[in-house]
Structure 1
Amino acid sequence: MYKVPGSGVAVGTGVGSLAVTGADVTWWITAGVVLLVAGALLLHATRKRRRAVSVKAE
């Protein structure tokens, strides 16, 4: 593992190290938010469909 001189932070140990290396994490944050929203929408749609099917079965 490579350490940035004078920082005491090892590269590859998390977001802090990405900031030290100057890596752009905006795309990762955006992708994470999009995936969370998509997952929430799919979960809502699935639960709504299951609820509708169970009501018809009764």
Structure 2
Amino acid sequence: MYKVPGSGVAVGTGIGSLAATGAGVAWWVVAGVVLLVAGLILTRAVRRRRAAGSE
């Protein structure tokens, strides 16, 4: 396993690699955006269904 010079943290070991390399940050940002968009779509669908059912 590769170690980042001076960090003492092995790359690919979870939280340590996230802090040491920054490469995992983009994945978490993308996952967060996808979850937010999915939540908005589901919320809109539920609101439309409730509005259509109450008429």
**Same fold judged by TM-score > 0.5?**
yes
Q: Distance in 1 between matches of 2:34 and 2:51?
A: 26
**What is the identity percentage for the equivalent residue pairs of Structure 1 and Structure 2?**
43
How far 1:24 sits from its partner (Å)? 4.2
2:45 corresponds to: 46
1:35 corresponds to: 34
Q: Give me the TM-score of the superposition, normalised by structure 1.
A: 0.54
User: How many equivalent pairs are there?
Assistant: 55
Gaps of 5+ in 2: 1-13
Runs of 4+ in 1 over 4 A off after TM superposition: 14-19, 22-25
Higher relative contact order (CA 8 A, sep 6+): 2
1:55 corresponds to: 54
